[in-house]
Structure 1
């Protein structure tokens, strides 16, 4: 029974990692499995049997959640861009109050006060997220990723970067992919792979498999390597770490609106209803995530 419950919790985490702005780490905290999951990852090579027993049902559930929700996200972003983007903004901002509480707790833990260092880290991270999307080119669309040595190496390291934010409470791995210009391409690759698998189309299956494998290996290696770094940063530089996370999170709405071209919907016949529906969804999503993430993050 516990195995099935962990699969269901893994599905929720998988779905949350597909939605830009929703933190898989925060969701794991809310579901009560974050500490157990991080400990199992960090102890994988020391006690692999026990670690796999804990991680396997979560990973199975996460895989099911990602596959099931990918088509929905692709449809919503293509057909209802503005309402979907505003819903994402609400999901992002809903986690900010809890991050602020965690930041203050980090200051209190070390008997620190707010300093210039905190402000500098915040500004650097904010600027990084706000400015980086403006340098994205065609890769920020649903276009397929070319299989070349350079693109595969780049994709591998993108996987490592994304994996870090997948396990940090308050950060969204899919949002980072969107900021880096790879979110749409990865979503498209997942749906293309599933379609080819169902149709038995080996010609289309192989290139999508290669792309997902390279990205997946980067994610897995990144999770194992970065989990200890994350633990170290939270333990020794908690307030500075949360300063950076707050900068990343608060700049994320700008990145989402820019990367999705959501404001273009305002020039269409559906502009006003889309805006009103989007604002309502933003408020609802804010309240939903705020209630779910009230538990202490770290």
Structure 2
């Protein structure tokens, strides 16, 4: 897939906006930027473009020059997407953290509706009649649920651990479903990374970024190969991941154990899903059921908007 020279400035603006949506999703522990890429129709081009950053791109660079190598890796597309991701992460990290603290039920309900509609939308593009595809779908759900019930670990914030964490998290970030932020939360590094972003700790951010680059380049080759050789099975597996992640973002949770972060604040460590009325009885807080249903409906409707209202723009990236 060579770089698409037919794209206009407006098309790249849409790509930047999609990248910003991916970055915003990746900040939330439980929502994947890959989910947004999947919903907006750029997932396969993203994976294929990342796969092209290899020895052939290096050979093209030395033999034909920078411009040819840039076209080979679909550079304008990648620049627009990851420019949007980085802008969103650095500009929205504090806002999303505040929203999660102030309006957790509404934020989780929004993403619940978003992902529920996304799973239904994507599943229509694959046939679940073949037993292999159906099995891949079931495996995706099972793996996502299994990861979601993992008990968090706690790792030190040493530079090499942060780098390895980046390699692991980026694999989840480009998978629809379980997010990289959730993986970081499970291994006890999420707070370290969020603090590094907020305080602009260049050393830790550089280590994390280097790990992300290595993991991204390696894992994109695996995903691209799977999509080329086993397209329907891979999409079924990814859709299963997507729907299985609903267990992570259920809005009403009971905290079973807490931990103290570096600021001396108690934060949830182990939680379980409960029903809205049970939540109100156990915590004494309003379940916000009506408002949550409303924000879930907004998330659900947003997918319908992306499906029907943005078809003209998504055709440009096919």
CA distance in 1, matches of 2:45, 2:138: 33
The answer for the alignment partner of 2:206 in structure 1 is: 213
CA distance in 1, matches of 2:225, 2:238: 15
Structure (1/2) with the larger helix percentage? 1
Q: Does 1:291 align with 2:305?
A: yes
The answer for the alignment partner of 2:236 in structure 1 is: 243
The answer for the alignment partner of 1:118 in structure 2 is: 133
Q: Choose the corresponding residue for 2:221, options 225, 228, 239.
A: 228
User: Which structure 2 segments of 5+ residues have no match?
Assistant: 1-7, 61-67, 254-269
User: Which structure 1 segments of 5+ residues have no match?
Assistant: 108-112, 140-144, 166-170, 198-204
CA distance in 1, matches of 2:95, 2:81: 22
The answer for the alignment partner of 1:96 in structure 2 is: 119
Cα shift at 1:150:
7.4
Q: Does 1:192 align with 2:195?
A: yes
Larger mean Cα displacement after TM superposition, 118-127 or 84-93: 118-127
Partner SS, residue 271 of structure 1: coil
The answer for the alignment partner of 1:168 in structure 2 is: none
- After superposition, the Cα gap between the structure-2 partners of 1:244 and 1:56, relative to the gap in structure 1 and judged at 3 Å, is closer
CA distance in 2, matches of 1:148, 1:180: 14
- After superposition, the Cα gap between the structure-2 partners of 1:196 and 1:248, relative to the gap in structure 1 and judged at 3 Å, is closer
- After superposition, the Cα gap between the structure-2 partners of 1:185 and 1:87, relative to the gap in structure 1 and judged at 3 Å, is farther
Q: Does 1:147 align with 2:142?
A: no
Q: Does 1:11 align with 2:20?
A: yes
Partner SS, residue 285 of structure 1: helix
Are the equivalent residues in 2 in contact too, given 1:81–1:265 (CA < 8 A)?
no
Q: Choose the corresponding residue for 1:271, options 260, 283, 286.
A: 286
After TM superposition, the score normalised by the length of structure 2 is 0.68
Are the equivalent residues in 1 in contact too, given 2:114–2:299 (CA < 8 A)?
yes
Structure (1/2) with the larger strand percentage? 2
Cα shift at 1:183:
9.1
Partner SS, residue 135 of structure 1: coil
The answer for the alignment partner of 1:42 in structure 2 is: 51
Query: What is the count of residue pairs matched by the alignment?
Result: 267
After TM superposition, the score normalised by the length of structure 1 is 0.72
Larger mean Cα displacement after TM superposition, 82-91 or 130-139: 130-139
Q: Does 1:127 align with 2:134?
A: no
- After superposition, the Cα gap between the structure-2 partners of 1:69 and 1:185, relative to the gap in structure 1 and judged at 3 Å, is farther
